[in-house]
Each structure stands twice: as C-alpha cells, then as structure tokens.
Chains A and B, each alone.
Chain A
Amino acid sequence: QVQLVQSGAEVKKPGASVKVSCKASGYTFISYYVHFVRQAPGQGLEWMGIFNPNGDTTSYAQKFKGRITMTRDTSTTTVYMELNSLRSEDTAVYFCTRGPTGTTDFDNWGQGTLVTVSS
C-alpha cells in the first residue's frame, strides 16, 4: 500500500536549519509529485513547495523562497525538505504529501513531523 514515512520530531534553536525526510513506497515514485505542507499549532494548512521526481524540479511558495530546499536521495525514494534560518514562527507539524502528476490534489499524506524552534 502507499506509504509516506517521515523522520522524527526535531527541536532546533533560532537561526538553525532542519531537514525533514519523507520516504515513499508502494507506488511508482516518478508518477507523483511530492509536496510539503505545514501546520502551526492551532492553525490551518500552509503549502510550502513541490518536488517533481521526474526531472528533480522544484517550485516553492513565495513565502519560503530563499529559505527552503527540496531534494531527493537518488538511490532511494526519499525526498528531503530543508528549512533554514529557523524562527519561533516555524514551530509546526510538517507533512509530506503526494499528488498525481497532472492533477492538483494531495491524495496521500505522511504522518507529520513536529519541528519545535526554541531557544
């Protein structure tokens, strides 16, 4: 079955970086985009960026440009999202999710990774 398994919770200091992994299995990896979406405590969902495994191209939300990088491990079906210059407002649960190429929905989600930014 389709699975997106994310790395564990992280605690970071302001100014540091965090790298969240998302391992995909159970489907044809290059046929689906991988997105990252975050949710601050008690808040709504916020799209961060998209990774297309068929060509390794990316596109990021304007808000995160310059601070975010999405990459993949070429030997596995793992996508990484790195966010730099962390601040307290980046405290959130970060989800990876997939979307079928040619569509705009997110049909399967990872379990989420809590990132806490605190001095």
Chain B
Amino acid sequence: SYVLTQPPSVSVAPGQTARISCGGSNLGSKSVNWYQQKPGQAPVLVVYEDSDRPSGIPERFSGSNSENTATLTLTRVEAGDEADYYCQVWESSGDQYVFGTGTKVTVL
C-alpha cells in the first residue's frame, strides 16, 4: 500500500516560516491535499491540488509538490497555527485515499 511520510513535529517561532514535508514514491505525479486539525476539532482543508487554497484560507498557507516530496509552507506563523497537519492523496492503482502520518506544529 502507498505510504506518505511526514516528520512527527515541527517547531517555529512566531512570525517565522514553517515547512512541513510529505514524502511518497513519485508523489509529484499525484495531487496533494493538506489539512489542519486542532485538538477536539474536525480537520480543515487548507491546500488542495498541490497549491490551491480554499476560500477563507490565508495566503500565508502555500503548497508545492515535486518528485517525491510535497511541502506545506506557513509564513508569518501565528499562535493560532498551532495544530496537527496531514497531507493526503488518492492512490489510483489501488483506488484508495491515503493520509500522511501527520505533523504537530508547535509555535514557540
């Protein structure tokens, strides 16, 4: 089965930039989506199709995807960005939707 690997944790100071990686075989050929989940809440879509933002998501959230790694970048990080972040793809060969292992972002 297809595996998406994320770092367990990322720490960042307020106002700085956080980068969260998502690694998978030939990931650049797939469409990557990213979700933010705060404790006790449902996930929220923050980036879809590698780099597009849903309405209402700040421009501070951006995404990229190339070769075997996709990246979610949070610029000018705020305390409210502290959350778990998950990447996700649809794996066509198995017709399965796959989530990454998740990354906890801590704002120092």
Contacts and interface: CB of A to CB of B under 8 A. Distances in A.
Interface of A: 35, 37, 44-47, 50, 59, 61-62, 95, 97, 103-107, 109-112
B48 A44 contact: no
A50 B97 CA distance: 9
Given A44-B99, A103-B48, 5 more contacts: A44-B100, A47-B98, A50-B97, A62-B94, A104-B88
Interface residues of B, number: 25
A45 B94 CA distance: 18
B42 A35 contact: no
Interface of B: 1, 31, 33, 35, 37, 42-45, 48-49, 54, 86, 88-90, 94-102
Given A44-B101, A62-B1, A111-B42, A106 B96 contact: no
A82 to B, nearest CB: 19
